[in-house]
Amino acid sequence: MALALAVGVAACHRGGGLPPRPDGPAVVVTAESTDDGVPTAPEIEPNDVPAAAQRLAVTESAPAAVAGDLRAHGPRRDSDLYRIDFPAPDAGAADGGAPAPRLVLRADLRPAAGLSVELDALDDAGHPLVSAGGQPGEAIAVPDLAVRGAAVLLRVRAVGPEAAAPTYRLVARLAPFDTGAEIEPNGDAAHATDLALGGEAVGYLGWHRDQDWYRLSTAGMADGSVVSADLDPIPDVAATLQLMGADGHKISEARGRKGERVTLRNLRIAPGDAVVYLVVRAEAGWSASARYNVRPRAELAKAGTEAEPNDDVAHAQPIEDGTALGYLPRGDVDVYRYTTPGMALLDVEVTPPSRAAVQIEVVREDGTLLGRAESSRHRPARLTGTSIPGGPVFVRVSPRHGSGNGDDPYRLTISSRPPDGT
């Protein structure tokens, strides 16, 4: 196929609006095919400002590709811009909000060996939507950009040390929107994708440090309910799950290793929080080919089970003599408040979840350490006869050596007795 190339609209590099695109003659370039079957046209310079952006003719049935070169043509480093025009955008939703898009744009960028690049998507007014980057020579992608405006500008620029061969290939495709999928941009609360408790979303952690925000409405949650969430593993990606309050504070966080499932359990929602945000974030690695599934849900809190947030003394969960169950995903800490009327000897035992080791610490409110114990492969963590003053002390349970398990609970047993044994 051929790519139509023309002089486009003018604007500043990042922020201001673009004036109307002047009419101009179109230049048609004969493209060469590559192994993926997408015809590839050469880049046409100059195309380093929006006014000279090279136009790519992309349709649902016909992707487009371009071979570019970021070799500097003067004292400034080169950047290349490409414009993709779309059919008339969808009308607004009945409630005035943004409707689900009919189409999404996928852009794949493969740089030459040793070349570090950044791929930016700008709207037709020149405002930044998404920025994706990677390591030298690493392919990057924006896999699911919502098509909402009249056009998108794709900008390719080199970052880091200069490469001997600063060349790349950019491929752009359009596809129908998949109901239930995340859509970019959704990297912050203002652009969060709506997701119902009890529902499921699929998405990509498509570039280095990509993060996807989902808006969860708490309307209809029964009193005493807690929120939990599960993130299925993504091959070669270490992901983090966070639940954020409406005011932006972090309620809780769980981390996984590469290819590991991540879970959040029993999260209490502050009264008056009409919405909370579930954040899926790439900590190490990324994938523009393997999608994740994330499932948030609300359920009634179970008696004798810890509830988050309880990561510090200020949010410690009260506990009395007996046994409680808790969950300790990687990176989590659970703190319990235990109170006696006077001096006592405290017995604490924690049986860790499978495939994990734990540490228990007993501290005063000022942080003074009163006792510490660790579990091993064959025995629980146990403190026996730890002397504690009257009033509150705090029992802190944390994973050892980076371990953790958000699926299986640990068992905490606690009791105390007077020093004289009466």
Angle at 208 between CA 100 and CA 45, to 5 degrees: 80
Looking at residue 13, what is its pLDDT?
Answer: 33
Q: Is the pLDDT of residue 374 over 90?
A: yes
Q: Which of 154, 176, 198 is the last residue of a domain?
A: 176
CB atoms inside a 10 Å sphere around CB 343: 14
- What CA–CA distance (Å, rounded) separates 170 from 187? 23
- Per the structure, the count of domains in the chain is 3
Q: Which of 121, 142, 176 is the last residue of a domain?
A: 176
By the 10 Å C-beta count (0-12 exposed, 13-18 middle, 19+ buried), 393 is classed as: buried
Q: Which residue has the tokens 């290819």?
A: 259
Q: Give the DSSP letter string of 258-302.
A: TT--EEEEEEPPPTT--EEEEEEEEEE--EEEEEEEEEEEEEEPP
SS3 396: strand
Radius of gyration of the chain (CA): 27
Residue, of 290 and 22, whose pLDDT is higher = 290
User: 97 and 133: one domain?
Assistant: yes
User: 47 and 169: one domain?
Assistant: yes
CATH number of 234's domain: 2.60.120.380
Least confident of 70-84, 212-226, 254-268, 406-420: 70-84
The tens digit of pLDDT for each residue in 184-243 reads 999 999 999 999 999 999 999 988 889 999 999 999 898 889 999 999 999 999 999 999
Looking at residue 89, what is its pLDDT?
Answer: 58
User: 396 and 292: one domain?
Assistant: no
The answer to whether 170 touches 68, Cβ cutoff 8 Å, is yes
User: 232 and 374: one domain?
Assistant: no
Domain presence at residue 305: no
- What CA–CA distance (Å, rounded) separates 345 from 383? 10
Residue, of 7 and 183, whose pLDDT is higher = 183
Parent domain of 154: 2-176
Residue, of 232 and 149, whose pLDDT is higher = 232
User: 13 and 144: one domain?
Assistant: yes
User: 76 and 128: one domain?
Assistant: yes
Q: Which of 300, 331, 366 is the last residue of a domain?
A: 300
SS3 50: helix
Domain presence at residue 306: no
- Which of 217, 225, 209 lies closest to 192, judged by CA? 217
- Which of 390, 399, 381 lies closest to 333, judged by CA? 399
User: 169 and 205: one domain?
Assistant: no
- Which of 368, 365, 358, 369 lies closest to 399, judged by CA? 358
The answer to whether 372 touches 381, Cβ cutoff 8 Å, is no
Task: Out of 26-30, 53-57, 303-307, give the one with best mean pLDDT.
Answer: 53-57
SS3 120: strand
| Cα atoms found within 13 Å of the Cα of residue 143, Cβ hemisphere only | 21
In terms of pTM, does the model score above 0.95?
no
Residues 6+ apart with CB under 8 A from 343: 387, 388, 389, 390, 418, 419
